[in-house]
Amino acid sequence: MSQGEQSGRNIHEELSTEHHDPLIRSLHFVIRICVKFLAVLMVLVIILGVADVCYVLYTQLNAPPVLLLNVGDIFKIFGAFMVVLIAIEIFINIRLYLGSNTLPIKLVIGTALMAIARKVIVLDLQNTTSIYVFAIAAVVLALGIAYWLVGKTRQTSTGAEPL
């Protein structure tokens, strides 16, 4: 058995290419192809996101007063940057899903934290209700605790420092 066949069998046993049922085996193959296609699409989204960051920066710097940014402009630019960083994190999640036999829970929670952090950064407090702010705070708290617990669990189970 070749190295590729061995690694294909060990990676994500729930999508095994050696399942006893030919239909399930074929469906697993299709799902694996779809995940790879999603990875390609995510790279396209990242490229378009970088182009958007450049466009936002260019338009904000060319708006009067030229080469000066106000606080609102900076938040628009931060928001555009954060979208690209979130897309990169999602791509890394997809790549790790394809290349390992475990789901990187800490990375998924970290990506969710980054997404909610983006929401906090671009939040317009003038047009936001207090219940919405409390809901965001609850999500941040829950994700922060989950991230800490996953890191703590990994540290105690492996005896190593968390990633």
Task: Measure CA 115 to chain center.
Answer: 8
141 lies in the same domain as 78: no
Using the predicted structure, report yes or no on whether residue 11 has a pLDDT greater than 90. no
Q: How many separate domains does the chain show?
A: 2
Last-in-domain residue among 102, 129, 145: 102
75 lies in the same domain as 121: no
Last-in-domain residue among 81, 102, 123: 102
97 lies in the same domain as 162: no
- Quick: pLDDT tens for 76-99: 888 889 999 999 999 988 888 777
Q: Is 87 exposed, middle or buried (0-12, 13-18, 19+ CB in 10 A)?
A: buried
56 lies in the same domain as 9: yes
Domain of residue 131: give its range. 104-163
